[in-house]
Amino acid sequence: MFMLKIETMTCNHCVSLITKALNQLEANLAFEIDLPAQTLQVHSEIDPADVIAALEEAGYQAQLN
């Protein structure tokens, strides 16, 4: 499990785009998005770099929190 900070996530549309990007990574990827805190908590054994790359491809900057 790890947490990412996504400071460019500002609205529900952002949450939707991030969810779509993450679901394309891994079918059973377990994650929680907290819009007010601008965080993404991932509950899977996926490499954080893969998640960060997918988010960057979707237009969002993320860093380990």
Please name the amino acid found at residue 46.
I
The count of structural domains within the chain is: 1
- What letter represents residue 17's amino acid? L
CATH code of 51's domain: 3.30.70.100
Question: Hey, what are 50's tokens?
Answer: 């893969």
Domain with 28 in it: 2-64
pLDDT tens-digit series, residues 5-61 = 999 999 999 999 999 999 999 878 999 999 999 999 999 989 999 999 999 999 999
Q: Note if the pTM is more than 0.85.
A: yes
- pLDDT for res 28: 81
- The answer to whether residues 6 and 39 touch, using CB atoms and an 8 Å cutoff, is yes
